[in-house]
Amino acid sequence: MQALHSHRRLKPFDQKQATLTAPLSVGAKFRWIAAALAMLLLLTSTGFGVWGPADARLAEARFTLQNRVPTGDIVFVDIDARSLLEVGQWPWPRSIHARLLDRLMDLGAYEVAFDIDFSTRSSPAEDQALADSLERAGGYAYLAAFRQLDAGGREVWNIPIPDFAAHADLALVNVDSIEGGLLWALPARARDRDIPSIAARFSPGSPLPAEIRIDYSIDLTRIPRISAVDLLSGNVDTDLIRDRQVVIGASALELHDLFLVPRYGIIPGPVVQIAAAETLKLGRSLQWPGFWPTLLVGALLLAISALLPRIALVRISASIAAISIGAEIAAFALLEAYGLTLSIMPIHLAGVAVLVIRLLEERAIRRRQLTQHRARLAYLANHDVRTGAMSHAAWLDEVDHRLETQLVWIFLLRIRRLDQVAAALGFQTVEAAVSQLFERLHALSPSPIGRMESDIFAVALDQPLVPSQIETILSRLEQPYEVDGHRIIVELRWGASDAETAATGLNQARMALAVATHRAERGAHYDPAFDADLKYRQSIDLALRSAVARSEFSLVFQPQVDMETRLTIGVEALLRWTSPEHGAVSPAVFVPLAEENGTIVEIGAWVAHEACRLAVANNWPGRLSVNVSPLQFTQDDVVAMIASALLQSGFPPNRLDIEVTESLLAQGGAIVETLEKLRDLGASIAIDDFGTGYSSLNYLSSLPLDKLKIDQSFVRQLANPRNASIVETIVSLGRRLGLVVVVEGVETEAQFDLLAALGCHIAQGYLFGRPGALPAVEQPLNQQLAPPLETPVLLDGTRG
């Protein structure tokens, strides 16, 4: 992109800085008020964990400087990616774990702990093989036990099956203490059961605190590590095993047993257990008194600074620097000598606050306030305060001014799905991401850029962009955004137009953007034919308002097939509209319009009633899926509507699936209550088109859900290894959360075979028939309509 002419963008106005540098009464009163406010801010921000990440970085530096050597008594037998590849399956047959244990015992291992889930049965022969091996170990093997939450949110215990527990003691492997996103400590034993942790098992004579706060100054890179496949093949130095304690666990990324810890970043769960055990062995279980001691020191520092008269900034700066350095030296010494970890950030922040207060005291003059006030008014009159983009009116004036001497090409960009991101992460996070996007856009072109709406930017160029240039711009702007630890993905659509006047060109670009949106296209140049398209949409909009009353809608049904038996077990009701004026209208056209004008509430109610009525009238014995729009949840009593459809038709509620979208789930609150009431009726809840919205593992694991439907866009591109990996991840996630996984858009046998191998339960698509009348069902009503599910996801990330 090229600039129309030199255009200087003002920096966004900083309200905080303007307030702090306003004229204040210079003297002790100001210093006391400012010190009190600084302390209040320090307490509040510390309480909300704002400074946790920074404090963690300082702690990591102390750990790195001490760098302790581990005892060497503990060896990690690693189920790594190479081991998984050579064995060729997961979970491994129990006989392989038996071979690992036998090999370790033969090599003289002192004790062996499995950080692996053995709470479910395998085949009798495989279970017996491991039970025999545990018996041969003679009580020197420990098996993992851990708490987890079931689908209802209740805490349950995963305990090895009795065949194994009879020959081995239990060892707790839960990881419960996460602070600021980092793992700092492990429970020494279960709080409600007498189950010691692996660390406690390996250090029976050591003093055992309630919680083992790990000393990350221990060099975990020096923990002896042996690949499981090397142990199985006998390619191991005997001296590395003899008289050692051994932890067997997984580091392979695909097994997801990984944690974020200070100093080392992401490490496997078994290494965390070893770190806790080494901490006990070295007598280094750390103590953390919280933030209060250093908060008190910070308060004392602020109070002393308020008592002192005005002092030269150089002297104040030197004193604060000396205090900060002294605090860090003291923290290092206490960690080294007594294992005491101090959070020093409050002292550093108090020192910074003292400097700021002194600086403000020196600079609090009316002229500066007046200058800032004028700058603020000038800025707000012409710019968006959050991003620095030109305001709507200022941008139009700028473009009209340029049109006096040259041509202007208007390029409009819309950021899609901001509402979904805002619902999941909050408005401030969204605005931060939008500000980053504007910075990228401005770096690509210094041309005048205006923020027309919260999700629309307009750029005025002196010549049109060719398709390759547009794709380059979109590709750079759609690179992920990092905001406060969140990774935000955006998707853009564009519209473009020549400009006779700024207002006309902007309206035409908006029309092109609207056409691209409704056609689900990347973007569009304005075409006069778009006016006819707009009139058509307006005509469709009017016709929709009376379509239900005139009985213009109908339903078709698409089969859903059990992927294990290939029997039809359910259908999804799909809406069709044949208008006397417009003929057959695509759902892709009229459904978005119905959601815009609110008629989707009436149409959705008709769909639910008619689908249930047809199912009963045709003696349909299988499952029935109906879609419910997010707008119905906010503008209608969905529970009453579904109850009415079931009551009037007599259709069994336990065979009804309610399909909702991801954007609805992210709203939480009343939506959760509504979904729970629908499930109380007996209906099941499914996420439709999963993977196309803003997904959050938080709501996915906590909401009342039963099914997960993978969007057909992923199926079309299964040949792409990345898409296949995404599908595999979604399937694994669904199964581990106890959800039935349905895949849409299956059109070929090759797709069916691959999806079946990935573990999908139910398939839907043209391979089994196009939407039409209710199909015949080949299985009785009382037969199970979905494959059995795997064990739900575990609290500590491990799996059997």
**Within this chain, do residues 308 and 454 fall inside the same structural domain, yes or no?**
no
- Give the end of a domain, one of 485, 507, 527: 527
Residue 463 CB neighbour total at 10 angstroms: 12
**Within this chain, do residues 632 and 548 fall inside the same structural domain, yes or no?**
yes
Q: For residues 577 and 623, give the distance between their C-alpha atoms in angstroms, rounded to a whole number.
A: 24
Task: Flag whether pLDDT at 785 surpasses 80.
Answer: no
Task: Flag whether pLDDT at 315 surpasses 50.
Answer: yes
Q: Can you give the CATH number for the domain in which 459 is found?
A: 3.30.70.270
- Give the end of a domain, one of 498, 527, 556: 527
Give buried/exposed letters for 93-106 (b at 16+ CB in 10 A, else e): bbbbbbbbbebbbe
CB 596 within 8 A of CB 514: no
Q: What is the pLDDT of residue 562?
A: 94
**Within this chain, do residues 358 and 392 fall inside the same structural domain, yes or no?**
no
When pLDDT is cut at 50, 70 and 90, the band that residue 406 belongs to is confident
**Within this chain, do residues 355 and 249 fall inside the same structural domain, yes or no?**
no
β-pair type (169-172, 481-483): unpaired
Task: Flag whether pLDDT at 539 surpasses 70.
Answer: yes
**Within this chain, do residues 650 and 595 fall inside the same structural domain, yes or no?**
yes
**Within this chain, do residues 25 and 86 fall inside the same structural domain, yes or no?**
no
When pLDDT is cut at 50, 70 and 90, the band that residue 604 belongs to is very high
Answer whether residue 9 is part of any domain. no
CB 76 within 8 A of CB 274: yes
Range of the domain at 701: 538-768
Task: Flag whether pLDDT at 517 surpasses 60.
Answer: yes
Q: 225-245 pLDDT, tens per residue?
A: 999 999 999 899 999 999 999
Answer whether residue 798 is part of any domain. no
Task: Flag whether pLDDT at 365 surpasses 60.
Answer: no
Instruction: State which amino acid sits at residue 686.
Output: A
Q: 30-78 pLDDT, tens per residue?
A: 778 888 888 888 888 877 778 778 888 888 888 888 889 999 999 999 9
Residue 385 CB neighbour total at 10 angstroms: 15
Strand, coil or helix: what is 97? Answer: helix
Q: 98-133 pLDDT, tens per residue?
A: 999 999 999 999 999 999 999 999 999 999 999 999
Q: For residues 305 and 314, give the distance between their C-alpha atoms in angstroms, rounded to a whole number.
A: 14
Answer whether residue 698 is part of any domain. yes
Task: Flag whether pLDDT at 277 surpasses 90.
Answer: yes
Q: What is the pLDDT of residue 610?
A: 95
β-pair type (225-227, 245-250): unpaired
Nearest to 253 by CA among 767, 574, 732: 732
Q: 689-714 pLDDT, tens per residue?
A: 776 655 555 566 677 889 999 888 88
Strand, coil or helix: what is 410? Answer: strand
**Within this chain, do residues 707 and 759 fall inside the same structural domain, yes or no?**
yes
Q: What is the pLDDT of residue 244?
A: 94
* Burial environment of residue 247 by CB neighbours within 10 A (0 to 12, 13 to 18, 19 or more): buried
Task: Flag whether pLDDT at 371 surpasses 50.
Answer: yes
Task: Flag whether pLDDT at 16 surpasses 50.
Answer: no
491: annotated active-site residue? no
Answer whether residue 372 is part of any domain. no
Q: Can you give the CATH number for the domain in which 588 is found?
A: 3.20.20.450
DSSP 391: P
Answer whether residue 782 is part of any domain. no
Answer whether residue 39 is part of any domain. yes
Domain count across the chain: 4
**Within this chain, do residues 639 and 692 fall inside the same structural domain, yes or no?**
yes
- Residue with the bigger pLDDT between 721 and 217: it is 217
Nearest to 83 by CA among 274, 233, 257, 220: 233
Q: What is the pLDDT of residue 697?
A: 59
Answer whether residue 323 is part of any domain. yes
Q: 325-349 pLDDT, tens per residue?
A: 988 898 888 888 888 888 888 888 8
Task: Flag whether pLDDT at 551 surpasses 90.
Answer: no
Q: What is the pLDDT of residue 2?
A: 41
Q: For residues 129 and 99, give the distance between their C-alpha atoms in angstroms, rounded to a whole number.
A: 9
CB 279 within 8 A of CB 297: no
Q: For residues 503 and 500, give the distance between their C-alpha atoms in angstroms, rounded to a whole number.
A: 9
**Within this chain, do residues 458 and 356 fall inside the same structural domain, yes or no?**
no
Q: What is the pLDDT of residue 789?
A: 38
Average pLDDT, the chain: 84
**Within this chain, do residues 81 and 40 fall inside the same structural domain, yes or no?**
no
**Per annotation, catalytic residue among 659, 744, 749, 790:** 744
**Within this chain, do residues 473 and 338 fall inside the same structural domain, yes or no?**
no
CB 55 within 8 A of CB 344: yes
Q: For residues 391 and 453, give the distance between their C-alpha atoms in angstroms, rounded to a whole number.
A: 9
pTM score, whole prediction: 0.44
**Within this chain, do residues 140 and 110 fall inside the same structural domain, yes or no?**
yes
Q: For residues 502 and 414, give the distance between their C-alpha atoms in angstroms, rounded to a whole number.
A: 18
The answer to whether the bond into 91 is cis (omega within 30° of 0) is: yes
- Give the end of a domain, one of 363, 397, 414: 363
Answer whether residue 714 is part of any domain. yes
